[in-house]
Amino acid sequence: MKPSPESLSGKPVTAQGAARRRWPAGGYPALFLAPAGLVVLALFLAPALLTIVISLTNLSVATGLTHYRWIGLANYLQIAHSPWLSLILWNTLIYVACTLVLFNVGLALVLALLTAHLSERAAGVFRVLWMLPRITPSVVYALMWRWAAAQAPYGTLSQLLGLFGIPGRNWMNAHPWAFVIGLNGLVGASFGMIIFSSAITAIPRDQYLAAQVDGASAWQQVWRITLPRLRWPVLFVTAYQTLSLLTSFEYILLTTNGGPGFYTTEVWSLYAFHLALSNYFGNTQFGLGAALAAILVVLGVGASVCYLRLFRFSELVSPPRIEVN
């Protein structure tokens, strides 16, 4: 009788174990990642590649889907020569940076810290209230803002401020950026609030108790215990919301539509939409719009890489130096 093969530990190797060992290195991780990989391939990589392909054509309403021509980088050159490029890039930067810093991360962090010090029930009610803008349909939410900001005697804001002797006006036209950033930010803040609240809840309570025993003030607890442990969620929220803000324009479209006046609140994604899908005289330019979208993808990837470096992502995912069993 042939002796059964033995493993290094001295235990006999079964047929199942031998089969498992035949998998190449990394086989199991690849297998488990495959479904997610397919989703990424189908829903991100394929559209991105298609966008790049379309951006190399003169596809428009006039050419239809059959009469287009390959024009190489002509669309990109047209964008580079556009006199409005710097204006739209600046608008995009203002929109993303202000919404992100003031609301999506800043306000979200404040809300999460405040609710962490409330009772569970009160915190729950408070968070639900902040979720209302998110669960309200975009069109309804935007229209409510438009009507609230409308000129006297129609606008709610003008009516309220009129009680204090402030003359009525169309407040959205007067301060378009405040409204665009504010109404986007109030939706975005709830996302960060939930993520940060969960992360704060996960911090072991005994660390706070130990700090209190050592005489740490509330602010010191936040600064020394809470915030350092929020680096990972802050990275996630910052990166995710940056990409989201770069590509989302529905609230701007529904409120100022890039105005008032000349491209006052026109951001990159809205400009791409206007060129690719919405032109007053009908001849929308899909190729040019795709080139703008492709550049947006590059901007998004660039911003993500910057965040990963800024938050030292490699340290965040490195294995722990000690292992507790």
Partner 1 sequence: MRRRMTALVLLSALAFVVQGWGGLAPIRAAGQQTVHLTAWTIGPDEPSYYRKDNLLSAADALNKQLAAEGSGIRVTLDATFATGGGQTWGAYKQRFVLAAQSGKAPDIVATGNEDIAAWAAAGYVIPLDTYVKQYKQFADVIPSLWNATKFDGRIYAIPQDVEARPLYFSMPFLAKLGWSQDKIAGLPKAIEAGQFTLTDMLQTAKEAQDKGLVLKGYGWWIRPINGPAYYMYYEAFGGKMTDASGKLLLDTKALRGDYSFFHDAVFTYSVTPKDIIGTDWNSWHGAVVGKQVLFTQCGTWCWAQWIQQYKMPADEVWKTYGFALVPSGTKGGRPVTLSHPIVYMISKSSPHADLAARLLALATTPQLNARHAVTSGHLAVLTDEAQVPAYAQDTFAKDTIYMLRYTTFLPNDALFGTYDQAIWEGLSAVVSGKMTADQAVQTVTQQLQTNLSDHVVIR
Q: Hunting for tokens 């509330």 — which residue is that? A: 218
Cα-Cα-Cα-Cα torsion 116, 118, 124, 126, nearest 10 degrees, comes to -100
Q: How far is the CB of 91 from partner 1 (least distance, A)?
A: 13
3-state DSSP call for residue 57? strand
Q: How far is the CB of 43 from partner 1 (least distance, A)?
A: 20
Query: For residues 288 and 141, what is the distance between their CA atoms, to the nearest angstrom?
Result: 31
Q: Which of 8, 19, 36, 65 binds partner 1 (CB under 8 A)?
A: 65
Q: Which of 51, 63, 221, 247 binds partner 1 (CB under 8 A)?
A: 63
Q: Does residue 83 bind partner 1 (CB under 8 A)? A: yes
Helix axes 231-247, 268-277, angle to 10 degrees: 30
Q: Does residue 55 bind partner 1 (CB under 8 A)? A: no
Compare residues 51 and 173 and give the one whose CB is closer to partner 1: 173
Q: Position 163: which residue type?
A: L
Of the candidate spans 119-127, 128-136, 213-221, 261-269, the one that interacts with partner 1 by CB under 8 A turns out to be: 261-269
Q: What is the DSSP string of 246-290?
A: HH--HHHHHHTTT-SSSSSS--HHHHHHHHHH--TTS---HHHHH
The contact pattern for partner 1, residues 164-203, with x = CB under 8 A and - = no contact, is ------x--x------------------------------
Q: Are 251 and 142 in contact (CB under 8 A)?
A: yes
Q: Does residue 45 bind partner 1 (CB under 8 A)? A: no
- Applying CB under 8 A, the residues found at the interface with partner 1 are 60-67, 78, 81-84, 87, 146, 150-151, 154, 170, 173, 253, 256-257, 259-264, 275, 277-285
